[in-house]
Structure 1
Amino acid sequence: MKMNRNTGLALLLILFGALILFGRLGMHHGGPHLMSFLFPIAMVGLGWLGIKNGRTMIGWILAIIGTLALLSKLSGLIAIVLAIGLIIYGVSLLKTKRSSY
């Protein structure tokens, strides 16, 4: 296989994705309980209800705080999806470069 700039980038993306994925899977011994998602989801719901009923300021504040709290709860899942995406993109870069020779 001929090494060029895109091949190096592809291998780097695969390496970073694998490191993130192995780190997340290795440190994740127990999942967060379903009830820990209830409060952020309720805040987003109350924010949406406030926006819909004309209380836009408090509605947006509740929706933003609830969304940020929910994103922090889902950060492990987001990191795993990002790692898998990096690996798939890196492999696709390798396959497209290999087929052009």
Structure 2
Amino acid sequence: MNLKKGNGLAIVLIAVGALMILGIFGPLMGKLFGLIFPIILIALGYYGVRRGKVLIGWIILAIGILSLIAKLSWLIGPILGIAVLLFGISLLKNKRSNY
């Protein structure tokens, strides 16, 4: 086996692939790639808009944003609930200080 300077990435990819095949690393990588793909779509959409391909750029950007929101909905829901709760408390405090 000939190890050259640029073979580090290839060795890492082979190791990750072997771990995924064995099922050890699969669930973690599935969740990670599930988040990386929408982020890549957002980046490609933004790049398309910046390069002049406005229509396709906005379509890809919207798909990426909607997909990322869907993947992070387990986090967005509680954060939105906390924000609404804090806003309601601040409204009550403002009404009490006005009297």
Global fold match (TM > 0.5): yes
TM-score range, shorter chain: 0.5 to 0.7
Tell me whether 1:90 sits opposite 2:88 in the alignment.
yes
**One-letter identity of the residue aligned with 2:80:** L
Q: How many residues align?
A: 70
Q: CA RMSD in A?
A: 2.2
* 1:71 pairs with one of 69, 72, 85: 69
State the SS of the aligned residue for 1:54: coil
Tell me whether 1:47 sits opposite 2:40 in the alignment.
no
Deviation at 1:39, TM superposition (A): 0.7
> Does 1 or 2 have the higher relative contact order (CA < 8 Å, sep 6+)?
1
Who is 1:59 aligned against? Answer: 57
Q: Among the aligned pairs, what percent are the same residue?
A: 46
Structure 1: gaps (5+ residues): 1-31
Paired with 2:83 and 2:74, the residues of 1 have a C-alpha distance of 14
**One-letter identity of the residue aligned with 1:63:** L
TM-score by length of 1: 0.56
State the SS of the aligned residue for 1:33: helix
Deviation at 1:49, TM superposition (A): 1.4
Task: From the CA coordinates, give the structure whose radius of gyration is larger.
Answer: 2
